[in-house]
Amino acid sequence: MYQIEEPTYFLYLTIIPVIFVMFLLVLWWKNSTQKQFTDRNLIQKLSPSSSTFKSVLKITMLSLGLAFLIVSLTNPKMGTKLETVKRQGVDIVFALDVSKSMLAEDIAPSRLDKAKQIITKIIEKLGSDRVGIIIYAGNSYPLLPITTDHAAAKMFLQNANPDMVSSQGTAINEAIERAITYFDNEEQTNRFLIVVSDGEDHEENTITLAKEAKKEGIKIYTIGVGSSGGGPIPMKNIGGGISYKKDSKGEVVITKINEEVLKEVAYEGKGKYINGNKTQEAINSIEEVLVNAEKSEFETKQFSDYKDQFQWFIGFGILFLIIDVLLLEKKTKWVQKLNLFNQTNESKRN
């Protein structure tokens, strides 16, 4: 298991493509300038030992050396021991609505991005609590099983999008039904389901399932994203442009938040409805609930004894830089003598 101590240094890797682009521009400039004064055959006779391949090889070695040195700055670490530890916390399952209506931009940057932002911030404030993620639209899909790996939860969350769910709609009932069987610790006394949605186009048996979840000891909190004024649903065209979803009459569909159903679900689920348009207030409300919740003890396996691995990357980085320094841009004579491609003397002169 690997850990990255300073991931911000990965930004320096953008230097590598810049170096390659500059190299290609210089190579193009040299070739075009040479052509203005003489032809290609004469250039080969005047400088028979020049090698474009060696130039490319040198810039590749330089780039690899810099890449390894930059990665070493992030101080990668590797866990060398897997052990079972006891922790205290609660189980939290996030049900994220990824229906097309969540693409509406009445809440900047979009309802879906706002929902992801809220969930991410809540996860960052968690202690030893376990988290799981369900995504849903017309049906539900298990995105991440309940785990203590908060970094993995945030990574999976960022990749969630409407294309992951086959049918469209806002089937909160599907999410609740899956959540009832999602919690894997029967001894956990505090189970939370946090539904983040615009509440539009819900199914009729949602309230019934919310009551059933309450009987299973699951408290349902709902977070609404979207405005009462609503907004159109952007759709990507085949050509790459953007249009807006229209109804059978050809009019642009305006999607609005349905707070009433979200409030009813939260009420029947022994939880609370929270307006997610104000990000920090929503985060603070959930954090307060989780902090005051009774913690249960559970066992989990995790890697320990993480050891620094940066020295390997420094070593390879220096090795590639040394190779770059030792390589000459001229053709290697002993390779030419091998005549690997059975060139004639005339063709070699050309």
- Residue 24, token pair as written in the block: 């290609």
**Residues 6 or more apart in contact with residue 258 via CB below 8 angstroms:** 198, 199, 200, 202
**Residues 6 or more apart in contact with residue 195 via CB below 8 angstroms:** 95, 97, 172, 175, 176, 220, 221, 222, 223, 262, 265
User: Which fold, 91-294?
Assistant: Rossmann fold (3.40.50)
In tens digits, the chain (350 residues) has pLDDT values of 566 778 888 899 999 999 989 988 988 887 777 666 666 665 565 555 566 777 888 889 999 999 999 999 988 877 565 565 666 788 899 999 999 999 999 998 999 999 999 999 999 998 888 899 999 988 889 999 988 889 889 999 999 998 888 777 668 888 999 999 888 766 666 889 999 999 876 567 888 899 999 998 899 999 999 998 999 988 877 776 788 888 888 889 899 999 999 999 999 999 999 999 989 999 999 999 998 888 776 666 555 566 778 888 899 999 999 998 888 766 655 445 545 445 444 444 44
Nearest-angstrom CA–CA distance, 191 and 210: 13
Q: Domain boundaries in the chain? A: 2-77+308-349, 91-294
Nearest-angstrom CA–CA distance, 99 and 96: 9
282-331 pLDDT, tens per residue? Answer: 999 999 999 888 877 666 655 556 677 888 889 999 999 999 888 876 66
Burial class (CB in 10 A: 0-12, 13-18, 19+), 299: exposed
Cα 144 to the center of its chain, rounded Å:
13
Burial class (CB in 10 A: 0-12, 13-18, 19+), 17: exposed
Q: Which regions of 229-329 does DSSP assign to beta strands (E)?
A: 231-232, 234-236, 242-244, 254-255, 273-275, 296-308
Nearest-angstrom CA–CA distance, 266 and 9: 43
Q: What is the pLDDT of residue 348?
A: 46
Q: Residue 320 to residues 61, 166, 198, 281, 327: CA-CA distances in angstroms? A: 5, 48, 53, 51, 11
